[in-house]
Structure 1
Amino acid sequence: MSAPILEIRDLRVWFGNPPDRVDAVKGVDLTVARGESFGLVGESGSGKSTILRALAGLAPTWSGTITVDGESLRGTRRSPAFHRRVQMVFQDPYASLHPRHTVDRVLSETLRLQGMDDIDRRIGKLLDDVGLGRGFRFRYPHQLSGGQRQRVAVARALAGEPALLLLDEPTSALDVSVQAEILNLLADLRVERGLTYVMVSHDLAVIGHLCQRLAVMQGGLIVDQLTADDLRAGRADSAYTRELIAASRSYAGREA
């Protein structure tokens, strides 16, 4: 069995200093296998996005151990090799793209930063891979729909040919019909490219659609870990997770 691509042990993340210190993550252990799609779910403030930020070097104060593809992370500095292996897709596809940069500029600058050659061909392939096509190459973000902007964000994340994508609520700003399109795209890309995903969402249905395993967070702690099959069957150890599942099913029933 190959070594996991991500191992987290006793991760603690906090903000501020006493007496105003806020402990956002309170001792989390996680292991994600190479090629797996793993979900982190919970209410706002549960600590799920903070874990991704600690991984990406965006959380200034944390302790514990984080190992990505054999590299042990320290503080907020990340090596060039880390940024080739790990990329992040954010929640808001408009805010994450420069409003005065065309799609071509966004992708070409990213490819050059990652040390890639044959830029012209690679841009065309990236646009094809995310279902946009080359006609979108010289458009600006304001000329794109929300779903199209998120496809550009995914293409940018893929430019350096990473192994691990961190997905922070990547569909929550999109209409429901567009959400499904982006989730299906991500599912296809994971298989085609052998990617590993760690995905954060407050929506159990979204996590169940894309992820094989998930951890449920509450108050900075993991209160449950279960498979997608467990989720669909309503099997959970904690009362909190069972309540989340029941609430999700009730909401889905009202929507139908």
Structure 2
Amino acid sequence: MLRVENLNVWFGFPPDRVDAVQSVSFQVPQGQSYGLVGESGSGKSTILRAITGLIDTWSGDIRVADQAVAGRKRSRAFHKAVQMVFQDPYASLHPRHSVDRVLSETLHLQGMHDIDRRIAQLLDAVGLGSGFRFRYPHQLSGGQRQRVAIARALAAEPRLLLLDEPTSALDVSVQAEILNLLADLRRERGLTYVMVSHDLSVVAHMCDRLAVMRQGRIVEEMDAASLRAGRAQSEYARELLTASASYDRGWSGA
């Protein structure tokens, strides 16, 4: 579903150019979930933004369903196939647009018909009833706003969802609900995910395979079973797993 080959992403120009992503390659089969993990600034979110066309200073080969994408401009067909869910649901929703307007405008842009029926179906799919349809973002909790953001992404009936830290801005009590919703949607709709997260337990729960990133490069790829078992080949990945395990023990005992 997604193939990334020798991806390089940079910002600025010499001598101040910053190479944010360097020689990154990975592929995600249809229906699988792939994780990108690593410390802040390792290039994880930058990869998603390059895929979606939010960054135009990149080189390499990006293919979605074997269709190559180039430059910054993305076709309408691309945006029907690929959608992104951002980290902060409040920032990604227009504060003066109701849920109805957010979803109806998205459906119109995608050329959909029977808007009322589709809005009701989308709200039902993400666990929100019709009572939320005419609310505004400030009238919703963080988890409810993220459900609206997911519904907006689903409006295009995509095949690939790019998830940029989709639960990190939410209360711990709500994170599991959103992750379970995403897992259910993937199974029911046959979706493919690429998920960026700093939380290894989230990736172990949600993803089939993952890449560990450091300073813009992939240092190791592994499957989720290896992650859960703490089996890593590279020194950096082992350190990351050890640090994450120590943090989880300290947090759970607090």
Q: TM bucket by the smaller chain?
A: over 0.9
Aligned counterpart, 2:61:
65
Aligned counterpart, 1:95:
91
What are the Cα deviations for residues 21-75 of structure 1, in whole angstroms up to 9, with x where unaligned?
Answer: 0000010111100000000001111011110011000112111100111210111
Q: Tell me if 1:230 matches 2:226.
A: yes
For residues 72-111 of structure 1, the aligned pairs below 5 Å read: 72-111=68-107
Letter in 2 for 1:34: Q
Q: Equivalent of 2:181, from 185, 204, 214? A: 185
TM-score, normalised with respect to structure 2? 0.98
Aligned counterpart, 2:152:
156
Letter in 2 for 1:61: T
Aligned counterpart, 1:35:
31
Rounded to whole Å, the distance in 2 between the matches of 1:44 and 1:108 is 35
Question: Considering only aligned residues, what root-mean-square deviation do their CA atoms show, in Å?
Answer: 0.6
SS in 1 for 2:168: coil
Q: Tell me if 1:208 matches 2:204.
A: yes
What are the Cα deviations for residues 116-143 of structure 1, in whole angstroms up to 9, with x where unaligned?
Answer: 1111011001001100111100000000
What are the Cα deviations for residues 143-202 of structure 1, in whole angstroms up to 9, with x where unaligned?
Answer: 000000000000000001000000011111001111111000000000000000001011
Contiguous gaps of at least 5 residues in structure 2: none
SS in 2 for 1:87: strand
Letter in 1 for 2:234: S
TM-score, normalised with respect to structure 1? 0.97
Percent identical residues: 73
Letter in 1 for 2:208: Q
Q: Tell me if 1:19 matches 2:15.
A: yes
Following TM superposition, the consecutive aligned residue runs of length 4 or more in structure 1 with deviations greater than 3 angstroms are none
Q: Displacement, 1:208?
A: 1.1
Aligned counterpart, 2:192:
196
- Decide which moves more: 154-163 or 67-76: 67-76
What are the Cα deviations for residues 75-111 of structure 1, in whole angstroms up to 9, with x where unaligned?
Answer: 1010000000000000000010011111000000000
Aligned counterpart, 2:125:
129
